Chains A and B, each alone.
Chain A
Amino acid sequence: MMTSDLSSSPSSSGTEFADPNPSTDPETNSERVQSQLESMNLSEPSEVSDGSHTDYSGGDDDDENAGAVEVALSNGNEGGVSNGCVAGTSVEEEIEGGEASSRAEYPVEMEAGEEPPSPTSSGYDGERGSSGGATSTYKADDASEDEIREANVDGDTASQHEAAWLPGKRHVDEDDASISWRKRKKHFFILSNSGKPIYSRYGDEHKLAGFSATLQAIISFVENGGDRVNLVKAGKHQVVFLVKGPIYLVCISCTDETYEYLRGQLDLLYGQMILILTKSIDRCFEKNAKFDMTPLLGGTEAVFSSLVHSFSWNPATFLHAYTCLPLPFGSRQATGTVLQDVCASGVLFALVMCRHKVVSLAGAQKASLHPDDLLLLSNFVMSSESFRTSESFSPICLPRYNPQAFLHAYVHFFDDDTYVMLLTTRSDAFYHLKDCRIRIEAVLLKSNVLSSIQRSIAEGGMRVEDLPIDRLLRQKPNQGQAGHESPRDVSVGTGGPFGLWHFMYRSIYLDQYISSEFSPPVTSHRQQKSLYRAYQKLYASMHENGLGPHKTQYRRDENYTLLCWVTPDFELYAAFDPLADKAMAIKICNQVCQRVKDVENEVFLQGASPFSW
């Protein structure tokens, strides 16, 4: 959950958010940041259709080449850091580079992309040395998101979308001198406070040492002034910073996502690292500031790249809730009962999962599992191929439960999709956990849970088309819209009733959400991603200043009509056809909530919530 000190609203002034040392002299401070930025030339993304670019338009694939981020270390900014002249200054944290006025005031050097504009195709194929990159679609080693998308522009469903991710890091041959690298739409970096690279989404960490040093220079320059840099805006680029003790995390993005969500993504990235190593890494830096952390993350590229990929398809990353696989109540209950038994025998957490969805879970008394931990845990297991081959036992840390220490996890896959995770504090509990797994497996087989799971995967989740439309039809005459085309016509080919395209329902009490399957017209990977981005904006705006009771928001643009409804019990996000009727949309939303309540025993994990804080 975003806390208030993390959030900034684009409309508020730069000094208003989370500034422990309010700026006394913004003029000079801004100049200083500006001089820092001059060393880091953020170029406008070179899109052909720049003029027609809208908030929710497609082309947002962040793996794609878009703009150039250029770094020149020679610009004297190092001197600025080392000569200590920044003492006592406090720097304005947000530069609204996107606004004409501030752009004039704090000019950030803009530079046209060196490459001819290439909004969708991978114009760097030649450079990467892969012959015929545009046609080699599923080449195991270097196929990238953009290539897959090209092959699959239409008709890939959410699950394919999920499956389209290929393990491992791509474009390792790049560094900050590569044009292709500079044009990537979204970069993630983790570095140490001495400027040593720890992780980079693209390119080789060691080759990016110079770039890392620049990022570190910017952060510590501001820190030396007793302040913190959170966000730098430069044209379409946002540079988001997160400082976690000796670890710095940076995202450079021109994907049009909200600052809050980008910051949340950095938080999750940090959490993933803690899950692998625990916070005891801080001690390594205390002992030796030059400590090189990269070897400790050996073999984990796939874990991070899969997490980054999930930022664009998994709503759990911004809803901070988990989702269950829809199942008959009895199946989930049988699973829950045996998991509770297992927890009574000394297991801290016991979970049966299907891919990223929960089948059932239980925790020892008073132990609660945070939805973010659940997300990071399932991402870790799903992206590490080695768990699939045999029973595994591994140290694992749950950052929200206890970031300081390892737990031990027993992981076993029953089939390609379904797996059990048993977490314990005891490092010698393997054989006990193995016995527990055998017990759980026996129950799953006896109650046919594994086949229910397969059936559920095949059937998919809730569909907007399946909403009980008849009840709505009966209400239609009250609308007094005689002569209008019949409601059934409106619903044809446009998803659910009355132009409902998609919805997400989040139960606040349960910490769970349910979202409808994607259906026409939101079918392509790109459209889905763009809808999620629209939801994220909505989510951020609803969570800006704490929640009041019964808040609603209604937005319409050329792509969607979006409706959001927040109550103390639940949040509903719904997307309609841009031409949908407002009164009708509100009715449909009520209908959706009713429908979710009707099936809550199948779509939510009920009962003793282990998530009560």
Chain B
Amino acid sequence: MPSRRRTLLKVIILGDSGVGKTSLMNQYVNKKFSNQYKATIGADFLTKEVQFEDRLFTLQIWDTAGQERFQSLGVAFYRGADCCVLVYDVNSMKSFDNLNNWREEFLIQASPSDPENFPFVLIGNKVDVDGGNSRVVSEKKAKAWCASKGNIPYFETSAKEGTNVEEAFQCIAKNALKSGEEEELYLPDTIDVGTSNQQRSTGCEC
């Protein structure tokens, strides 16, 4: 492997409004939680230094707004993502049902070079609510969905209590890193007279 490594990893967090994306971020980055809902506008940008196998990385995290009006906007910052985190609320079936839409929308907008193997991570949040009694999406059901989408890693978290949040982001960083290394191949385009113009070169992050 070449010694020049990518040190920036771009992570996008998607999911319905209110599932707890911002809360997860806030728990992970600032170790804080607030009960008050503050709807994210557009997208928030945060960075966090992580250590992984003796190397330092900067996670660039895009915490996106789940509100409906932001969903139809062609979102420029999906492009060049190294990992996409899908979040749902285990107490809301609708937020789980919408995962398919979020995943597909991401693949369309970000158009990664290898959509089949693009790294996603699924988080089922708010497991603490009502001691788990108001839960409507079972772990089994969530895992079955993950299996059907090419074995997506799955975590159950509580942003409120901090349960499993660190573990989930460790996995996110690991997966983002993997995708980054695979793309680090220098493949210059060659002029190919006769075929239609080149669609895109390998993902380049500026």
Give the B-binding residues of A (Cβ under 8 A).
276-277, 295-300, 384-387, 389-395, 406, 409, 427-428, 430-431, 434
B69 pairs with A276, CB closer than 8 A: yes
B38 pairs with A386, CB closer than 8 A: yes
User: Which 4 pairs of residues, A with B, have the shortest CB-CB distance?
Assistant: A394-B42, A299-B39, A385-B38, A428-B76
Q: Tell me what chain A mostly uses at the interface: helix, strand, loop, or mixed.
A: mixed
B68 pairs with A296, CB closer than 8 A: yes
Cross-interface CB contact of A390 among B36, B44, B69, B70, cutoff 8 Å: B44
Give B148-206 interface residues, CB cut-off 8 Å to A: 206
A300 pairs with B77, CB closer than 8 A: no
Which residues from chain A contact B42 at a C-beta distance below 8 Å? 392-395, 409
Given contacts A299-B67, A300-B39, contact A427 B44 (CB under 8 A): no
B45 pairs with A386, CB closer than 8 A: no
Which residues from chain B contact A299 at a C-beta distance below 8 Å? 17, 37, 39, 41, 65, 67
A386 pairs with B22, CB closer than 8 A: yes
B45 pairs with A392, CB closer than 8 A: yes
Q: Interface 1/0s, chain B 32-68, versus A by CB < 8 A? A: 0000111111111110000000000000000101011
B69 pairs with A386, CB closer than 8 A: no
Assess whether B111 is interfacial by the CB under 8 Å rule.
no
Which residues from chain B contact A385 at a C-beta distance below 8 Å? 36, 38
Given contacts A277-B69, A298-B67, A299-B17, contact A391 B39 (CB under 8 A): no
Assess whether B1 is interfacial by the CB under 8 Å rule.
no
Which residues from chain B contact A428 at a C-beta distance below 8 Å? 76-77, 79
Which residues from chain A contact B22 at a C-beta distance below 8 Å? 386, 389
Given contacts A299-B17, A390-B46, A430-B45, contact A395 B73 (CB under 8 A): yes
Assess whether B74 is interfacial by the CB under 8 Å rule.
yes
B68 pairs with A389, CB closer than 8 A: no
Give B80 Cβ to nearest chain A Cβ, in Å: 10
Q: Interface 1/0s, chain B 87-117, versus A by CB < 8 A? A: 0000000000000000000000000000000
B45 pairs with A427, CB closer than 8 A: no
* Chain A residue nearest in CB terms to B46: A390
Given contacts A276-B69, A386-B22, A431-B206, contact A298 B39 (CB under 8 A): yes
- Can you spell out 13 A-B residue pairs with CB atoms less than 8 angstroms apart? A276-B69, A295-B68, A296-B68, A298-B39, A386-B40, A391-B46, A392-B41, A393-B42, A394-B41, A409-B42, A427-B75, A430-B76, A431-B206
A427 pairs with B38, CB closer than 8 A: no
Interface size on B, residues (CB 8 A): 27
Give the A-binding residues of B (Cβ under 8 A).
17, 22, 26, 36-46, 63, 65, 67-70, 73-77, 79, 206
Question: What CA separation (Å) do A392 and B45 show in the bound complex?
Answer: 6
Which residues from chain A contact B38 at a C-beta distance below 8 Å? 384-386, 389
Give B79 Cβ to nearest chain A Cβ, in Å: 8
* Chain A residue nearest in CB terms to B39: A299
* Chain B residue nearest in CB terms to A392: B44
Which residues from chain A contact B206 at a C-beta distance below 8 Å? 431
Which residues from chain A contact B36 at a C-beta distance below 8 Å? 385
* Chain A residue nearest in CB terms to B42: A394
Give A109 Cβ to nearest chain B Cβ, in Å: 41
Question: What CA separation (Å) do A387 and B44 show in the bound complex?
Answer: 8
Give A199 Cβ to nearest chain B Cβ, in Å: 14
B40 pairs with A393, CB closer than 8 A: no
Question: A385-B36, A394-B41 given. 17 additional CB < 8 A pairs?
Answer: A277-B69, A296-B68, A296-B69, A299-B67, A300-B39, A384-B38, A384-B39, A385-B38, A386-B39, A386-B40, A387-B41, A389-B44, A390-B46, A394-B42, A428-B76, A430-B77, A434-B45
A393 pairs with B45, CB closer than 8 A: yes
Give A146 Cβ to nearest chain B Cβ, in Å: 23
Give A434 Cβ to nearest chain B Cβ, in Å: 8
Give A177 Cβ to nearest chain B Cβ, in Å: 28
Give A243 Cβ to nearest chain B Cβ, in Å: 23
Question: What CA separation (Å) do A409 and B45 show in the bound complex?
Answer: 13
Given contacts A299-B17, A427-B76, A430-B77, contact A393 B43 (CB under 8 A): yes
B68 pairs with A298, CB closer than 8 A: yes
Which residues from chain A contact B73 at a C-beta distance below 8 Å? 395, 406
B43 pairs with A394, CB closer than 8 A: yes
Give B67 Cβ to nearest chain A Cβ, in Å: 5
Which residues from chain A contact B70 at a C-beta distance below 8 Å? 395
B68 pairs with A391, CB closer than 8 A: no
Cross-interface CB contact of A384 among B41, B75, B76, cutoff 8 Å: B41
Question: What CA separation (Å) do A393 and B77 show in the bound complex?
Answer: 10
Question: What CA separation (Å) do A347 and B37 show in the bound complex?
Answer: 32
* Chain A residue nearest in CB terms to B75: A427
Which residues from chain B contact A300 at a C-beta distance below 8 Å? 39
Cross-interface CB contact of B44 among A276, A296, A391, cutoff 8 Å: A391
* Chain A residue nearest in CB terms to B30: A389
Give B118 Cβ to nearest chain A Cβ, in Å: 20
Which residue of B41, B42, B74 has the most chain A CB atoms within 10 A of its CB atom?
B41
Question: What CA separation (Å) do A352 and B128 show in the bound complex?
Answer: 42
Which residues from chain B contact A393 at a C-beta distance below 8 Å? 42-43, 45, 77
